[in-house]
Structures are given as structure tokens and as C-alpha cells.
Amino acid sequence: MDPFLLEALLNGILLGGVFALPVLGCNLVFGVVDVVWLCYAELVMVGMYGVWFLHTQQGWPLYLAFAAALPLVSALGVLLHLLVVRPLLGAPPINQLLATGGVLFLLQGGAMLVFGTDFRSLGVELPPMEWQDVFISGTKLAAFCAALVGAGALWAFLKFTYVGIAIRAIARDREVMPLMGVDPRRVYVVASAVGGALAGLAACLLVVQLDVHPFIGLSFGPITFMICVMGGLGNMLGGFLAAFLMGVIVSTGSFWWNTEMSYVIAFGFFIVVIFARPRGLFAR
């Protein structure tokens, strides 16, 4: 096989791993709370600024800055739920979308006020790995591994803990939950905290690969939602698989054509999928 194609394929898989975290977070929140956090990518952006600020401005070691980003964005998710989503739980979905969309602009504007429009770089890079003429960025590989660990931790949480199992149950039938002593409102808060923590982890993995600026959310927010819908909104496994599919499409698309066109191909593929399978690729 052409080493460059192989490289593109591998990069696609690595990219898919990073897409997977925000997709899982979005799906988790949507599946449980039934509200789409339109500002999800902006939560990631805040986390990226957090890591950048703590590491480059405050001189924290990188691992400490990473460790701080998770609870920071997790708390932000809980705040978002308590202040914006909870008062609108009974409202029409369009109001919920508009409100979380409003938070998107609030966070963008806030970041611009505080940090300006400069591109901020963390300036860390791991040496690339070489294997038979195939070069893989060490940073991307590390980010991919961390994403898999994060996804695995989420899986274990949903599979083995009482709250995690209740989260999977509530996604299917929320009215029956109080009969088991489950207060859905508390489960919503837990899901929002976990959804936020996933955004925080995604922030750590992205900030080592991309420069952060107030509009960075636009570069992966739309594709995140697209992957969610493609995998079936609320379907965790579907979203996870679709993330890798999309990663490979974007990456090989830029191998055959160029980066701009690769996103055109990705969105074109998305439109075809939605026509053919309106409820998502992996709908049962």
C-alpha cells in the first residue's frame, strides 16, 4: 500500500479518537437530559484556554493543567445545566436550542474579551514515530490513546456503577425512574458533570494539537454534531463508530484532494447518510 495513503488512514483513525470524546459527551447529555448542548465545542474551547493559561501564564506543569481542566469544564457543564437547561426542561426544544446557542456566543465573546483574538499555542510537541516510511505524530498518537482511555472510563462508569446504569435506563424511560427511587433531576446533574468532564478531556487532547482562539469551536463543533446525528443522536456506540468513520473520511479526503475539500466530502457523505438513514447509520 502507498505509505502516504496508509498514513492518511492512520491519521483518520487518530482523528476519530479525538472526535469521539465530544461526540460521546454530547450524546450522553442528549440521551439523558434530552437537550442538545449547542455550545458543547465552546466548553471545549474554555478548557483549552484553561490549560493554556495555567501552563504558559501561571507556569503550572502540563499534567497539573490537564488535571485542572477536567473538573473546571465539568463544573461549567453543571452550571450550564442548572442555570440554563433546567429552567427550560419543560420548554419547546427550539427554546432549549436557542438558549444553549446563546451560551455559545456568550462563551465566544467572553473568550475574546479575556484573551483577545490571538492564536495561543501551548508549544509542546512529541517527536513523530516512524515505521516503514509511515510517519505518525507522537502528539496525535498520545492524544488518541488518552481519548481511548477516556472512552473506556466512560464505558466502565455506564456499565458498572449504579448511577451509570441509571443513566442508561433513564435514556430509555424517564417516567418510570422515580418508582425505583431515582430522582431524574439529580441524574441530569450527574450526566451534565460527566458530559462536561468529557469536554474537558477533549480540550486537553486538542490544545496540544491546535492553537486556541475564541472561534476554535467552529472548527470542530459542526462536525461533532454531524457525527452525533450520523451515529444516531443519543446512541453512544453509534456515535463512537461514526467518529472514526468521519475521521477516516476527512483524513483520506485531504490525501486525495485537500483539507478544505475533505470537509466538503465529509458533509456530502453526511447528507447522503441522512437521506438514506434518517435516524442515523447505526439506528436499530
Partner 1 sequence: MRAEEPALVLEGVRAGYGDFQALFDVGLRVSPGEAVGVVGPNGAGKTTLLRVISGMVRPRSGTARFGEIDIATTPPHALPASGIAHVPENRRLFPHLTVEENLRVGAYIPAARKRFAERADYVYRLFPKMAQRRHQLAGTMSGGEQQMCAIGRALMCSPRILLLDEPSAGLAPLVVAQVFELVKRIRDEGLTVLIVEQNVAQVLRVVDRAYVLDAGRVVAEGASAELAADPAIRNSFLGGH
Query: Which residue is associated with the grid cell 488518552?
Result: 146
State the minimum distance, in angstroms, from the CB of residue 234 to partner 1. Answer: 12
> How far is Cα 258 from Cα 256, in angstroms, rounded to an integer?
7
Please say whether the beta carbons of 3 and 133 come within 8 A: yes
Instruction: Indicate whether 178 belongs to the interface with partner 1 (CB under 8 A).
Output: yes
183 in helix, strand or coil? coil
State the minimum distance, in angstroms, from the CB of residue 71 to partner 1. Answer: 25
Helix (H) or strand (E) holding 130: strand 129-131
Give the range of 58-66, 112-120, 171-179, 251-259 binding partner 1 by CB under 8 A. 171-179
Instruction: Indicate whether 189 belongs to the interface with partner 1 (CB under 8 A).
Output: no
Instruction: Indicate whether 165 belongs to the interface with partner 1 (CB under 8 A).
Output: yes
**Which of 130/175 has CB closer to partner 1?**
175
Question: Which of 62, 169, 210, 274 touches partner 1 by CB under 8 A?
Answer: 169
Instruction: Indicate whether 271 belongs to the interface with partner 1 (CB under 8 A).
Output: no
Please say whether the beta carbons of 10 and 134 come within 8 A: yes
Give the range of 4-12, 21-29, 159-167, 237-245 binding partner 1 by CB under 8 A. 159-167
Please say whether the beta carbons of 27 and 233 come within 8 A: yes
DSSP letters, 213-251, are: -TTTHHHHHHHHHHHHHHH-TT-HHHHHHHHHHHHHHHH
Question: Which of 112, 183, 258, 268 touches partner 1 by CB under 8 A?
Answer: 183
Instruction: Indicate whether 279 belongs to the interface with partner 1 (CB under 8 A).
Output: no
Strands 134-136 and 129-131: antiparallel
Q: Using CB under 8 A, list all residues that contact partner 1.
A: 162, 165-166, 168-169, 172-173, 175-184
